[in-house]
Amino acid sequence: SQQGEEDPQALSIQEGENATMNCSYKTSINNLQWYRQNSGRGLVHLILIRSNEREKHSGRLRVTLDTSKKSSSLLITASRAADTASYFCATAAYNQGGKLIFGQGTELSVKP
Amino acid sequence: DAGVIQSPRHEVTEMGQEVTLRCKPISGHDYLFWYRQTMMRGLELLIYFNNNVPIDDSGMPEDRFSAKMPNASFSTLKIQPSEPRDSAVYFCASSLGRLDSTDTQYFGPGTRLTVL
């Protein structure tokens, strides 16, 4: 079964607003990663948070992790039209043999 | 580094034909992954290799699909015979594969396959 499940499936906001996407997973993890996919392109790694971390920042990105609730959120502040893309969470665990389990993704549309 | 390289970028073929997709991972990466992405099914892991050895092929849809990694710098995904339902974007990704380096995967640009 799919490890990561994301919500919302689609999100539409205005430029300058903040965008929040959530990810839930089912089993213990070593780390959780977020990826972005622009239309017609491959996925690009954005940020990683380890299981012993609760929050991490990278530029306009803020990721939180709650291992007790098995959930994570990705916040993009002051969104731009160029942030329009699909965003995926992915989990890594010791028993996954080096592979990541990806969620279904959130499609973000930022309108200028 | 040029990143993960895939070829061809686009492939249009007729049902029943053999299709071969190619991937060159990032040099030094120990893991190579093949994914398929469709609107209906999302991103699916088909197979992955560690040090050129297939580790998990449970995602390969059926015997028509096969994958090889003859050396550390090259992998192929073959579909024979192809069917219209195989139409999708196929991604190759590679990673260092060490959990202490986070298993970050680097994706290629994908091959868009259309089977008529």
Amino acid identity, position B114: T
Q: Name chain A contacts of B108, Cβ cutoff 8 Å.
A: 42
Query: From the list A45, A94, A97, which residue is nearest B55 (CB)?
Result: A97
Q: What is the pLDDT of residues A26-85, one digit of tens each?
A: 988 889 999 999 998 999 999 999 999 999 999 999 999 999 999 999 999 999 999 999
| Closest to A81 (Cα-Cα) out of A12, A9, A7 | A12
Contact A102 B43 (CB under 8 A): yes
d(CA A47, CA B54) in angstroms, rounded, equals 28
Contact A45 B105 (CB under 8 A): yes
Query: From the list A33, A94, A105, which residue is nearest B99 (CB)?
Result: A94
Residue A88, min C-alpha distance to chain B (Å): 10
What is the CB-side half-sphere exposure of residue A82 using CA atoms within 13 A?
A: 2
| Closest to A42 (Cα-Cα) out of B105, B10, B65 | B105
Strand B65-71 versus strand B53-56 pairing type: unpaired
Q: How many CB atoms lie within 10 A of CB A80?
A: 12
pLDDT tens, per residue, chain B with 116 residues: 689 999 999 999 999 999 999 999 999 999 999 999 998 888 999 999 999 999 999 999 889 999 999 999 999 999 999 999 999 999 999 998 665 545 789 999 999 999 99
Q: How many CB atoms lie within 10 A of CB A36?
A: 21
| Contacts across the A-B interface (CB distance below 8 Å) | 63
DSSP annotation of A7 reads E
d(CA A36, CA B89) in angstroms, rounded, equals 16
Q: How confident is the model at residue A2 (pLDDT cuts 50, 70, 90)?
A: very low
Q: Name chain A contacts of B102, Cβ cutoff 8 Å.
A: 31, 33, 48, 50, 92
Q: For position A1, what pLDDT does the model report?
A: 36
Structure tokens at B79: 């579909």
Over 60: is that where the pLDDT of A3 sits? no
Query: From the list B42, B104, B109, which residue is nearest A42 (CB)?
Result: B109
Burial class (CB in 10 A: 0-12, 13-18, 19+), A106: buried
In contact, B99 and A50? CB cutoff 8 Å = no
For A47, the closest chain B residue by CA position comes to B104
